[in-house]
């Protein structure tokens, strides 16, 4: 599988973009809306005009048209052809390459098996659920065994459970096929959970490329830090398994439940927008729910940022202005704080020097 090199890419959305994607890796491109994420994928696929050079294994492919680049593309809205059934959709690229019908049938059967969708073969896309469409689109993109797989927010239209399930499968599949993959998203958690490396794209320029830890703990500039936001980072004194993929971490007296299996970890990251606040005790399980006292309130146009003292820890939460006003929150109030179980990210390394201004120790916000 080829390594991909982008050099000095320029067009309406990219400005002198350089990027190196390693052979067989799953690289995530993260960035705000309009930063040129999709355009960058289209450049690699040859679907838009650009200046500069795209190389596969050091060989320029600029002169190769889109339909000959051997690139699998999973589009944001999937774009399954509505007038073709699942079989015909998956076999489309094979027919374009003039394979014989027998060969097409064999390959399509193989792909239906791979994606576990044999029972859907004769259905039409209008008749499939979101997750099923996703699998069909994946099978179609992989039909010609492309060397490169491009994915443009493929999970954005799925419910969170289906997406979580498919993410694991997709990651396994990518490993199994060893295909060089580029995945565009604006979901930080998705990137942290799946990526080999992450590239942060800002206004058409790559700001930083690195592993999730490098990016989160050592953002190279203010733009990256701004985009990622300042997460709550909690150091864990110890952690233990409480069975079946669930671990309990002790972070300065806070007992936090984390869905994680295996190695112990030293640090938890959760974004302010994934910390829920309520004035009365919410119904349901008490997992990851704590009492905190509001110490600081900062309002902006549409959102309000709060700081709490929870035991010995300081936590940040972000909520909409409307929710803030409805609850009538004020400094010194005692509130219930819930950490969204699915949004807790963990890091296993023993890294200690946090970048300034991000840890809970720092009071400035």
Q: Return residues touching another protein (CB under 8 A).
A: 45, 47, 66-68, 71-73, 75, 77-85, 92-93, 95-97, 124-127, 133, 140, 143-144, 157
Closest to another protein by CB, 70 vs 109, is 70
Please tell me the distance from the alpha carbon of residue 247 to that of residue 269, in angstroms, as a whole number: 15
Q: What is the CA radius of gyration of the chain?
A: 23
In angstroms, what is the minimal distance from the CB of 54 to another protein?
A: 14
Please tell me the distance from the alpha carbon of residue 233 to that of residue 295, in angstroms, as a whole number: 18
In angstroms, what is the minimal distance from the CB of 14 to another protein?
A: 18
Closest to another protein by CB, 155 vs 268, is 155
Sign (positive or negative) of CA dihedral 331, 333, 339, 343: negative
Residue 27 phi, psi dihedral angles, 5° rounding: -100, 130
Closest to another protein by CB, 10 vs 88, is 88
In angstroms, what is the minimal distance from the CB of 270 to another protein?
A: 32
Q: Please give the C-alpha separations between residue 66 and each of 79, 196, 286, in angstroms, as whole numbers.
A: 17, 26, 53
Closest to another protein by CB, 65 vs 350, is 65
Residue 220 phi, psi dihedral angles, 5° rounding: -80, -25
In angstroms, what is the minimal distance from the CB of 73 to another protein?
A: 4
Closest to another protein by CB, 77 vs 241, is 77
In angstroms, what is the minimal distance from the CB of 222 to another protein?
A: 35
User: Could you tell me which residues are beta bridge partners of residue 254?
Assistant: 251
Residue at token pair 């259905």: 123
In angstroms, what is the minimal distance from the CB of 78 to another protein?
A: 6
C-alpha angle with apex 161: 155 to 167, nearest 5 degrees? Answer: 45
CB 110 within 8 A of CB 145: no
Closest to another protein by CB, 141 vs 209, is 141
Which distant-in-sequence residues (6+ apart) come within 8 Å of 42 by Cβ?
A: 48
User: Could you tell me which residues are beta bridge partners of residue 315?
Assistant: 308
Q: Please give the C-alpha separations between residue 2 and each of 17, 30, 128, 150, 274, in angstroms, as whole numbers.
A: 19, 22, 34, 13, 38
Closest to another protein by CB, 143 vs 269, is 143
């Amino acid at each position: 599988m080829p390594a991909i090199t982008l050099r000095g890419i320029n067009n309406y959305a990219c400005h002198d973009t350089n990027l190196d994607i390693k052979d067989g890796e799953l690289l995530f491109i993260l960035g705000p809306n309009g930063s040129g994420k999709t355009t960058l994928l289209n450049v690699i696929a040859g679907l838009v005009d650009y200046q500069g050079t795209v190389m596969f294994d050091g060989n320029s492919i600029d002169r190769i048209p889109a339909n000959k680049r051997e690139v699998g593309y999973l589009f944001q809205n999937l774009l399954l052809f509505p007038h073709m059934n699942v079989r015909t959709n998956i076999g489309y690229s094979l027919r374009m390459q003039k394979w014989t019908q027998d060969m097409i049938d064999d390959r399509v059967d193989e792909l239906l098996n791979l994606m576990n969708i044999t029972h859907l073969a004769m259905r039409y896309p209008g008749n499939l659920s979101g997750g099923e469409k996703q699998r069909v689109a994946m099978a179609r993109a992989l039909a010609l065994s492309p060397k490169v797989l491009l994915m443009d927010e493929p999970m954005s239209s799925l419910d969170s459970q289906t997406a979580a399930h498919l993410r694991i499968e997709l990651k396994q599949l990518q490993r199994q096929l060893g295909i060089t993959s580029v995945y565009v998203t604006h979901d930080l958690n998705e990137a942290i959970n799946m990526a080999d490396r992450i590239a942060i794209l800002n206004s058409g320029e790559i700001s930083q490329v690195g592993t999730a830890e490098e990016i989160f703990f050592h953002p190279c500039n203010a733009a990256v830090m701004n985009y990622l936001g300042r997460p709550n980072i909690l150091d864990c004194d110890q952690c233990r398994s409480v069975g079946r993929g669930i671990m309990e971490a002790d972070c300065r007296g806070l007992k936090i439940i984390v869905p994680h299996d295996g190695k112990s970890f030293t640090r938890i990251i959760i974004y302010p927008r994934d910390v829920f606040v309520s004035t009365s005790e919410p119904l349901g399980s008490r997992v990851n729910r704590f009492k905190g006292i509001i110490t600081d309130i900062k309002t902006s146009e549409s959102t309000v940022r709060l700081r709490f003292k929870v035991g010995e820890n300081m936590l940040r939460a972000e909520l909409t202005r409307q929710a803030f006003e409805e609850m009538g929150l004020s400094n010194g109030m005692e509130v219930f704080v819930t950490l969204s179980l699915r949004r807790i990210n963990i890091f296993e390394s023993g890294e200690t020097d946090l970048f300034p201004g991000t840890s809970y120790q720092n009071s400035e916000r």
